[in-house]
Amino acid sequence: MSDHQHHITVKVKTEYLSEQSSPRDCRFVFAYHISITNNSSQEAQLLTRHWIITDGEARTEEVRGDGVVGEQPLIGAGKTYKYSSGAVLKTPVGTMHGSYGMIDAQGTAFDAQIDAFSLAVPRMVH
């Protein structure tokens, strides 16, 4: 399903959490900060999330669940919902992408795509 008519924009910022990471134990912890903007003329609710997390050795983990950070936010027309979460990788570099399962004010379900973004320890990407 396309989200073109629903005009949901997802922006991501990431950071490496060195104090929570342990490179010698192959534990690299990242935070990601998400902004979901509803650019349409009607409200939409985020019901589910689907992430595909890939580490630097092409190991893939899929995460599916209800909502985000324990919420199923209703995002009003022209409004932005923000949250932060995290991921743990076994390598210093990886990527994430996925989608949010959403429903509009008419009850039409649609997916808002989340483009791939990098998780990388600073100075590890050339």
For 82-105, what is each residue's pLDDT tens digit?
999 999 999 999 999 999 999 999
Tell me which residue has tokens 């949901």: 8
Which residue range is the domain that position 74 belongs to? Answer: 8-120
| 31 within some domain | yes
Residue 125 pLDDT: 54
CATH code of the domain covering residue 34: 2.60.40.1470
The pTM of the full predicted model, rounded to 2 decimals, is 0.91
| 1 within some domain | no
Q: Helix or strand or coil: residue 24?
A: helix
| 126 within some domain | no
Each residue's pLDDT tens digit, 18-41: 999 999 999 999 999 999 999 999
Residue 6 pLDDT: 79
**How much is the mean pLDDT over the chain?**
94
Structure tokens at 109: 């379900």
- Number of structural domains (the chain) is 1
- Separation between Cα atoms, residue 5 and residue 115, nearest integer Å: 17
| 125 within some domain | no
Residue type, 67: G
| 3 within some domain | no
| 23 within some domain | yes
| 78 within some domain | yes
| 77 within some domain | yes
